[in-house]
Amino acid sequence: MNDINMVMQNALDAFNSYKTLSPAERAGFLNEIATAIEAARELLVPVAHEESNLPLPRLNGELSRTTNQLKMFARLVEEGSWVEAAIDTADATRTPPKPDTRKMLLPVGPVVVFGASNFPFAFSTAGGDTASALASGSSVVIKGHSAHARTSQLVFEAIQKAIATTGVHAHTVQHVLGSGSTAGKALVIHPNTTAVGFTGSFGGGKALWEYANQRETPIPVFAEMSSINPVVFLHDTLQQNAAALAKSYAASITLGMGQFCTNPGLLVAVQSNALDNFLTLLGTEITQILPQKMLHSGIHAAYSKGLNTALSQIGIEKIGQAAKAAGEEEAFPTVAKVKANIFLQNPHFREEVFGPYSLAVCCDNKEELMAVLKQLKGQLTTTVMATDADITANRDIIDLQTTLAGRIILNDVPTGVEVCASMVHGGPYPATTDSRFTSVGTTAIKRWVRPVCFQGFKDNMLPDALKNNNPQNIWRIVNNEWTNATI
């Protein structure tokens, strides 16, 4: 606990220094972290492979995604308009006189980031949470995931090189390894912590959220937790494209051994011969996929338990399972089906089984399909596979899906999350603890800031973003109009 007190005191000192840096200096730091990680690629990827069982090509791609995220946030900070500056100039002639008010987003303070087991680079030590928090001007304390502790430490060493090169405060980023329930909890409840980022299990995210809300001063926890990502298959497309759909969905269900938060865990359709044909083809595709090692023994045990529980429910029928026997810590890709009236009566079927498993729900008619969707909890994604004719006839289904998730996908698979300004990787509880935010893309920065209004300040006393001569040349709302002009 003494250690955590010291870490959090350092984090506050670092914040008070780091928040004063210019956008160019902050961007320089982010770019330097990307450079240091890239330089360590040959060291990092094999260690991550050893710790996570993830294949080398995947990890190489993930490392590139991580450095690209850092560079993306550097560009965002350098451009500067993300601070949402809004200026309403004074009007002394009004009765009563109108004051000069100017608003912008400012960093919240030290942020605690929990590394995720399923993305040792892109959602861990220097991943999207850390990059977006540093971009905002917050200092960061990382609680490394114990399943890839060495990778986490090596990435942190790359960050330390960037700290030395750029001369930012030595404790702008700190790294803590230890158990979640001791070190992790101590970080969340420490009074200097102002916000938390997390990706992992529902139980873990909920526990952190509870610690944060039991504090004397509650703080936000942005936890991305559980999602079964329902996919609706409409009739026309099943009739026309069954073989292609079976191939692409078998690949999506088993991508990364199903260890993606956007894994399609639920397939929903109205009963027909076309659906039977699709499910037979999907079952055949799944039997051909080889079992592979999961991320760590805990995740493998959770998958095995979840799968056994699911398959032991009354009314469930296995339609495909990997044919080869699974080795130690390997997961069996599996698909099963159940009739909607049974699904609707059994809450077990709505739980996430994290791994290469998907459940098809066969509905008697459209009303039953809508009832299945209405019964689901909040999701990260929902997908509709449909022809144009299907869409025209089923707008109500799509309207319902829009209420369910942060991202709705047409004619694609939910796995694969583009890192860009328009992405929403978030969704209603329990997909996340706060559906107003995303943890992927440039707007992920919004989790680590709060709006502050400066009223009655002289120009030379204001932050640069709010000064009359607009020294950063950013876009602002000045007296209700978007402009990058000076005042």
Catalytic residue numbers? 224, 261
* CA distances for 442 relative to 129, 221, 230, angstroms: 11, 19, 26
Q: Which is nearer to ligand NAP, 156 or 278 (CB)?
A: 156
Containing 286, the helix (H) or strand (E) segment is helix 273-287
Q: Is 181 in the site for ligand NAP (CB under 6 A)?
A: yes
Tell which one of 132, 199, 358, 382 touches ligand NAP (CB under 6 A): 199
What's the closest the beta carbon of residue 446 comes to ligand NAP, in angstroms? Answer: 20
Q: Which is nearer to ligand NAP, 117 or 241 (CB)?
A: 117
**Rounded Cα–Cα distance for residues 174 and 144 (Å):** 10
Residue 193 token pair:
């912590």
Tell which one of 35, 101, 146, 160 touches ligand NAP (CB under 6 A): 146
* CA distances for 337 relative to 23, 140, 392, angstroms: 53, 45, 27
**Rounded Cα–Cα distance for residues 363 and 272 (Å):** 9
What's the closest the beta carbon of residue 299 comes to ligand NAP, in angstroms? Answer: 4
Q: Is 201 in the site for ligand NAP (CB under 6 A)?
A: yes
Q: Interaction with ligand NAP in 233-262: which residues (CB under 6 A)?
A: 261
Q: Is 209 in the site for ligand NAP (CB under 6 A)?
A: no
What's the closest the beta carbon of residue 183 comes to ligand NAP, in angstroms? Answer: 8
Give the side-chain half-sphere CA count within 13 A for 359: 26
Long-range contacts of 23-27 (CB under 8 A, 24+ apart): 23/77, 23/78, 23/80, 23/472, 24/78, 25/166, 25/168, 26/74, 26/77, 26/134, 26/135, 26/137, 27/74, 27/75, 27/77, 27/78
Taking contact as CB under 6 A, which single stretch among the options 54-62, 219-227, 332-340, 476-484 is the one that binds ligand NAP? Answer: 219-227
The candidate with the shortest Cα–Cα distance to 260, out of 354, 329, 349, 330, is 354
Q: What are residue 409's DSSP bridge partners?
A: 383
Please, which residues have CB within 8 angstroms of residue 175's CB and are 6 or more apart in sequence? 125, 141, 142, 144, 152, 153, 156, 159
What's the closest the beta carbon of residue 182 comes to ligand NAP, in angstroms? Answer: 8
Handedness of CA 465, 468, 470, 471 (dihedral sign): negative
**Rounded Cα–Cα distance for residues 113 and 125 (Å):** 8
What's the closest the beta carbon of residue 263 comes to ligand NAP, in angstroms? Answer: 9
Q: Interaction with ligand NAP in 321-380: which residues (CB under 6 A)?
A: 354
Residue nearest to ligand NAP (CB): 180
Q: Is 405 in the site for ligand NAP (CB under 6 A)?
A: no
Q: Interaction with ligand NAP in 110-139: which residues (CB under 6 A)?
A: 114, 116-118
Q: Is 302 in the site for ligand NAP (CB under 6 A)?
A: yes
Q: Is 197 in the site for ligand NAP (CB under 6 A)?
A: no
Q: Which is nearer to ligand NAP, 185 or 446 (CB)?
A: 185
Task: Fill in the DSSP letter of residue 141.
Answer: E
User: In 178-272, which ranges are continuous DSSP H helix?
Assistant: 185-189, 202-214, 235-254
User: In 128-234, which ranges are continuous DSSP H helix?
Assistant: 128-136, 149-166, 185-189, 202-214
What's the closest the beta carbon of residue 176 comes to ligand NAP, in angstroms? Answer: 10
Q: Which is nearer to ligand NAP, 301 or 452 (CB)?
A: 301
Q: Is 427 in the site for ligand NAP (CB under 6 A)?
A: no
Nearest-Å Rg of the Cα atoms of the chain is 24
Residue 410 token pair:
């047409």
Tell which one of 84, 157, 161, 204 touches ligand NAP (CB under 6 A): 204
Q: Which is nearer to ligand NAP, 81 or 146 (CB)?
A: 146
What's the closest the beta carbon of residue 119 comes to ligand NAP, in angstroms? Answer: 8
Q: Which is nearer to ligand NAP, 82 or 349 (CB)?
A: 349
Q: Is 298 in the site for ligand NAP (CB under 6 A)?
A: yes
Query: How many chain residues interact with ligand NAP (CB under 6 A)?
Result: 26
Q: How open is the CA angle 449-451-453, to the nearest 5 degrees? A: 145
* CA distances for 45 relative to 54, 117, 152, 258, 338, angstroms: 10, 15, 11, 21, 41
What's the closest the beta carbon of residue 468 comes to ligand NAP, in angstroms? Answer: 46
Q: Interaction with ligand NAP in 442-471: which residues (CB under 6 A)?
A: none
Query: Which residues in this chain contact ligand NAP in the complex, by CB under 6 A?
Result: 114, 116-118, 143, 145-146, 179-181, 184-185, 199-201, 204, 207-208, 224-226, 261, 298-299, 302, 354
